[in-house]
């Protein structure tokens, strides 16, 4: 595969008007490239258009305009191949209550035309930790087990791209960690992973690249590290050797004395180099016992970018 597992150009979606609700665009000209082999996060407030985007990729929602290419296959030119390249773990727990996990995987494999000789149901059940439940009815599975079965179903046709729609919303910590371990392992084996999440720390920890969507448009798209760098304000915390009598003073630096005797110096890292902050501290006759810096997290970037809707 080339550089990008997915390429989206000029994507638009307007759902048909309902009774009393006028047609309103859900996606308004989205261009997005998702690099092969990445873990890519789609973030945005409720109603931003994330599910619409994912459902278009999955072939579940028909786009109004634009071009979607998955694993080199244009959705309109090669719909079958583009669909076979992607697996989607949906948000809703829509499982047939009468199928056992193994049967559910076999049915799914059948839908994707995976020949019997190439099916890996037991291997996939083991991967998600459901081997003991292979023959249990879906209705007897716990919520967490159902989620794992949904992940397993997304994997039966061995897709190149795995899409997870809010995979850890409302799940307990143990299951969340298990899901992330699985996702990391699949990614290490070469699978490109796209996920939506409301948990910003999760995106920060899991994703190499992030797109922030707001009101149907991509408002930011960058590596996680670069996005975090955008919020430029940093705070240097200085623990002095002895009590401070004179506070440091320099242009572009705000100083606050904290209750534990430390000093918090806030500055914009692009305007004021860390060295200038340290110099101001030394000039005030302060001997530094310890120093650390704090910086904005994804939550701050996110709020800044989605504040004005
Ligand atoms: P997100 O997943 O980011 O919360 P969605 O893609 O679900 O956002 O929704 C984007 C917009 O499209 C919202 O205004 C939502 O009300 C609308 N929308 C989503 N699905 C439908 C649908 N099936 N019919 C009509 N409008 C919809």
> What ranges make up the beta strands (E) of 158-308?
161-165, 192-196, 209-214, 217-223, 233-240, 254-257, 263-268, 288-295
The CATH 3.30.70.980 domain(s) of the chain lie at 231-296
pTM of the model: 0.80
Q: Whose CA is nearest to atom 17 of ligand 1?
A: 26
Range(s) of the chain covered by CATH 3.40.50.300: 1-85+159-175+187-229
* Interval between CA 49 and ligand 1 midpoint (Å): 6
The domain covering 1-85+159-175+187-229 belongs, at the CATH homologous superfamily level, to: P-loop containing nucleotide triphosphate hydrolases (3.40.50.300)
Q: What residues of the chain score a pLDDT lower than 50?
A: 309
| pLDDT at residue 308, as a whole number | 57
* Ligand 1 neighbourhood includes 21 CB (under 6 angstroms): no
- Buried b / exposed e over 172-191, threshold 16 CB at 10 Å, is eeebbebbeebbeebbeeeb
Q: Whose CA is nearest to atom 27 of ligand 1?
A: 15
Q: Provide CATH code, domain 231-296.
A: 3.30.70.980
Distance, CA of 24 to CA of 7 (rounded, Å): 24
């Amino acid at each position: 595969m080339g550089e990008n597992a997915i390429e989206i150009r000029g994507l638009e979606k307007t759902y048909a008007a309902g009774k009393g609700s006028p047609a309103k665009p859900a996606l308004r000209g989205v261009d997005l490239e998702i690099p092969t082999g990445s873990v890519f996060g789609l973030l945005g407030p409720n109603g931003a258009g994330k599910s619409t985007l994912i459902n278009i990729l999955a072939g579940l929602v028909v786009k109004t305009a634009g071009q979607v290419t998955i694993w080199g296959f244009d959705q309109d030119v090669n719909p079958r191949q583009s669909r076979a390249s992607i697996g989607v773990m949906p948000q809703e727990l829509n499982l047939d209550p009468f199928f056992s996990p193994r049967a559910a995987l076999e049915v799914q494999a059948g839908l994707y035309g995976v020949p019997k000789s190439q099916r890996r149901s037991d291997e996939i059940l083991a991967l998600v930790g459901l081997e003991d439940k292979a023959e249990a009815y879906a209705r007897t599975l716990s919520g967490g087990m159902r989620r794992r079965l949904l992940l397993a179903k997304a994997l039966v046709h061995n897709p190149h791209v795995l899409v997870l729609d809010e995979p850890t919303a409302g799940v307990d910590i143990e299951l969340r960690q298990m899901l992330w371990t699985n996702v990391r392992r699949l990614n290490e084996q070469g699978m490109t992973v796209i996920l939506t999440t409301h948990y910003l720390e999760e995106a920060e920890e899991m994703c190499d690249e992030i797109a922030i969507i707001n009101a149907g448009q991509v408002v930011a798209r960058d590596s996680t590290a670069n996005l975090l760098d955008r919020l430029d304000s940093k705070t240097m915390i200085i623990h002095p050797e002895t009590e401070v009598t004179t506070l440091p003073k320099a242009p572009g630096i705000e100083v606050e004395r904290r209750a534990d005797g430390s000093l918090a110096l806030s500055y914009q890292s692009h305007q004021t180099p860390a060295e200038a902050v340290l110099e101001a501290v030394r000039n005030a006759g302060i001997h530094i016992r310890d120093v650390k810096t704090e910086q904005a997290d994804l939550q701050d970037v996110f709020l800044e970018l989605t504040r004005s809707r």
